[in-house]
Amino acid sequence: MSPKTFFVRITREFHAAPERVFDAWLDPEKVRAWMRMALVDGGLSGDMRRVEVDARVGGHFTFSDMRMGEEAVHWGTYLEIDRPQKLVFTWFTSKEDERENSSIVSISIVPNGNGCLLTLVHDMDMKWSEYKDLVTAGWTRMVDMQARVLAGDRGNLTGQ
């Protein structure tokens, strides 16, 4: 981490095999399910538009949903894929951030008893520091919803 960046860190225990947790980040159907649930849980519509995943190092992803009549787009590039223990990718919401390449998400997954422990670290430009609590809450919701999806609870929210 450089002096011009800050990070958020969350951890979550999963009652699922590390491979299942890892794959939930790269399987478009599962991504659509947990992202939609996280949006609804966060008070948004959950109207997912695009979930595109090219799950290889150098591959890109795009996730988008509708928010207040506009499409909110998140995209990035996979920098490291080491199944089932490590996933690293860029995370952007604006062309400016993409040019600066200042937003990196690192996920580590470690076996833990009957499941695993996921640690997510999002390193980003200091200009977003006032949003630290919102970013933390957003990632926490997403990871919590992944756990629900992996437990078989899709909350009737998997519609296309």
pLDDT digit string, tens, across residues 35-93: 999 999 888 887 899 999 999 999 999 999 988 888 999 999 999 999 999 999 999 98
| Per-residue pLDDT, 2 | 54
Measuring CA to CA, which residue among 1, 2, 5, 8 is closest to residue 139? Answer: 8
Q: CA separation (Å) from 160 to 10, 15, 30, 60, 127?
A: 29, 27, 12, 21, 35
* Predicted model pTM: 0.89
Tell me how far apart the alpha carbons of residues 73 and 94 are, in angstroms, rounded to a whole number.
8
Count of H-run helices and E-run strands, the chain: 4, 7
Q: CATH number for the 5-46+82-150 domain, one of 3.30.420.40, 3.30.530.20, 1.10.20.140, 3.40.50.450?
A: 3.30.530.20
